[in-house]
Amino acid sequence: MHLLLIGVSHRTAPIELRERFDFQTRGVEGALRALAARDAAREAVVLSTCNRAELYAACDERDAGRQDLVRFLAEYHGVGVDLVAPHLYELADLDAARHLFRVAAGLDSLVVGEPQILGQVKAAHSAAAAAETSGPLLNRLFHASFGAGKRVRSETGLGSGAVSISFAAVSLARKIFGDLTDRSVVVVGAGEMGKLTARHMKAQGAHHVTIVSRSMAHAARTAEAIGGASAAPWDDLDAALGGGDIVITATGAAAPILTKARIEATMRSRRNRPLFIIDIAVPRDVEAAAGEIEQVFLYNIDDLQATVRENLARRAGEVAHAESIVGEEVEKFALWVRSRGAVPTIVALRQHFESVRHAELERLLKLSSLPAEARERVDDITRLIVEKLLLTPTEQLKSVGDQEIVGAYHEALTHLFGLGAHPRPAGPADVEPERPKVVDGSFNRTTRR
């Protein structure tokens, strides 16, 4: 059983091609079902975002599986295999696992550390779980990737700090005012950046947005575009400043509109409540000296850009740490995969014990005429005995990581119990025989939730 991955991402394919491989427009479920209908993949998960389309599959044959996945990807999207091939990446087993862990951690994202990808990976797995195309191997793989993603997020600064101007402004506002719910935003001028930042503030809960513009009609239009905002005439600017907490200036004026003296005057009327001014206009709308006023926090476009750069640099500095966490998680996953090497032996051993039990039970029931209730008891007790006898050997076998030792055990057990009579099952992904709750091996945890 092999874990296979094929995909295209922003690293390998231009947007025109990624668009054609988007699974979401037609629905991921359909793709999963189509994939399951083919024989190559025993398990499959489709991860499709705007930056990547990836197929994860568990296949018996590595090469055949890989070829079939490529064919599926091309056929499903109606693209020639030749066209896809140069943009595809194909990974197998632990390399595929490492890739998924890096994706979930945000290490493979366009903006390193962006937070949405973990949710998208989770959604991809839930969709496969709902379509019943995910099985023991991929369930384990994806849950491990959630763990890796969470660890990277909580133990490194990979996702910290805003990496866009408008989010940097929002994050500053939150650091000054905490909750933005009862804060008022004043937008002076009606440019695109001002609108965008105001929208972000509104999304963060800012309760009122006022647009002040030299042209009342323009202000009204912008207010409408933002939604739930109001417009005010230019003459009311001082009053608006007095009532606002966050001021975004973005006019095309050649000289500063808000001088230090003007802001000082408003600060008196607002009893020195903090005022956060974001000046995104070039040339600047606010006199730089205004930043010296005690409770005024003045940031211009360069300051915001500088914090964005700092944040990006800080994220880059965290990559090595994040990669080492991913490495640890891959190690853990590898250990689990190796422990599954013992599964055929365990299955054979169990089948052997079970067949002995059945044979003896049948013989007993033929010879004596037990009442139905007693038969059930005997059945229960013998099954319990078998379970208890096999509990420790099962656990011990699963804890063996080394393939050679697993082989030695397999030989020894086959020899000792004459297991040769039973055919050796095909691969580690075979589902184990159903077991009563007495045995709680690591396998139970891998089944789908």
Per CB under 8 A, 306 contacts other proteins? yes
Which residue in 310, 360, 402, 411 binds other proteins (CB under 8 A)?
310
Which residue in 155, 331, 376, 440 binds other proteins (CB under 8 A)?
155
Q: Tell me, what amino acid is at 382?
A: T
Backbone angles phi, psi at 259, to 5 degrees: -90, 165
On the 0-12 / 13-18 / 19+ scale of CB atoms within 10 A, 129 is: middle
Per CB under 8 A, 297 contacts other proteins? yes
Beta bridge partners of 210: 186, 230
Question: Which tokens is 304 given?
Answer: 């915001």
Distance separating alpha carbons of residues 118 and 173, to the nearest angstrom:
26
Distance separating alpha carbons of residues 388 and 394, to the nearest angstrom:
10
Query: Three-state DSSP class for 280?
Result: coil
Distance separating alpha carbons of residues 248 and 189, to the nearest angstrom:
8
Per CB under 8 A, 295 contacts other proteins? yes
State in angstroms the smallest separation of the CB of 290 from other proteins.
12
Q: Among all residues, which ones are annotated catalytic?
A: 50
State in angstroms the smallest separation of the CB of 182 from other proteins.
11
- Measured from the CB atom, the residue of 229 and 298 that comes closer to other proteins is 298
- Measured from the CB atom, the residue of 142 and 177 that comes closer to other proteins is 177
Query: Segment contacting other proteins (CB under 8 A): 71-79, 151-159, 257-265, 277-285?
Result: 151-159
For 140-188, the DSSP string reads HHHHHHHHHHHHHHHHSSTT-S--SHHHHHHHHHHHHHS--TT-EEEEE
Sheet holding 89-92, edge to edge: 41-49, 52-59, 2-9, 89-92
State in angstroms the smallest separation of the CB of 305 from other proteins.
11
Percentages (nearest 5) of helix, strand, coil residues in the chain = 60, 15, 30
On the 0-12 / 13-18 / 19+ scale of CB atoms within 10 A, 208 is: middle
Total residues contacting other proteins by CB under 8 A comes to: 27
Q: Which helix (H) or strand (E) holds 230?
A: strand 229-233
Distance separating alpha carbons of residues 228 and 206, to the nearest angstrom:
11
State in angstroms the smallest separation of the CB of 177 from other proteins.
5
Q: What is each CA distance from 97 to 28, 90, 100, 104, 139, in whole angstroms?
A: 21, 12, 5, 11, 12
Distance separating alpha carbons of residues 149 and 102, to the nearest angstrom:
8
- Measured from the CB atom, the residue of 302 and 380 that comes closer to other proteins is 302
Which residue in 37, 268, 366, 404 binds other proteins (CB under 8 A)?
268
State in angstroms the smallest separation of the CB of 325 from other proteins.
12
Per CB under 8 A, 165 contacts other proteins? no
Residue list 167-186, contact with other proteins (CB under 8 A) = 172, 174-179
Per CB under 8 A, 354 contacts other proteins? no
Query: Segment contacting other proteins (CB under 8 A): 96-104, 112-120, 248-256, 270-278?
Result: 270-278
Torsion of CA 25, 30, 35, 37, to 10 degrees: -160
Per CB under 8 A, 378 contacts other proteins? no
- Measured from the CB atom, the residue of 111 and 176 that comes closer to other proteins is 176
Per CB under 8 A, 313 contacts other proteins? no
- Measured from the CB atom, the residue of 295 and 399 that comes closer to other proteins is 295
Per CB under 8 A, 23 contacts other proteins? no
Distance separating alpha carbons of residues 287 and 216, to the nearest angstrom:
24
Per CB under 8 A, 294 contacts other proteins? yes
Per CB under 8 A, 324 contacts other proteins? no
- Measured from the CB atom, the residue of 296 and 400 that comes closer to other proteins is 296
Query: Segment contacting other proteins (CB under 8 A): 45-53, 93-101, 119-127, 299-307?
Result: 299-307
- Measured from the CB atom, the residue of 218 and 314 that comes closer to other proteins is 314
Question: Which tokens is 86 given?
Answer: 């140069």
Per CB under 8 A, 303 contacts other proteins? yes
Which residue in 7, 161, 194, 244 binds other proteins (CB under 8 A)?
161
Q: Is the peptide bond before 283 cis (omega within 30 degrees of 0)?
A: yes
State in angstroms the smallest separation of the CB of 303 from other proteins.
5
- Measured from the CB atom, the residue of 236 and 303 that comes closer to other proteins is 303
Binding residues for other proteins, rule: CB under 8 A, are: 154-155, 157, 160-161, 172, 174-179, 267-268, 271-274, 291, 294-295, 297, 299, 303, 306-307, 310
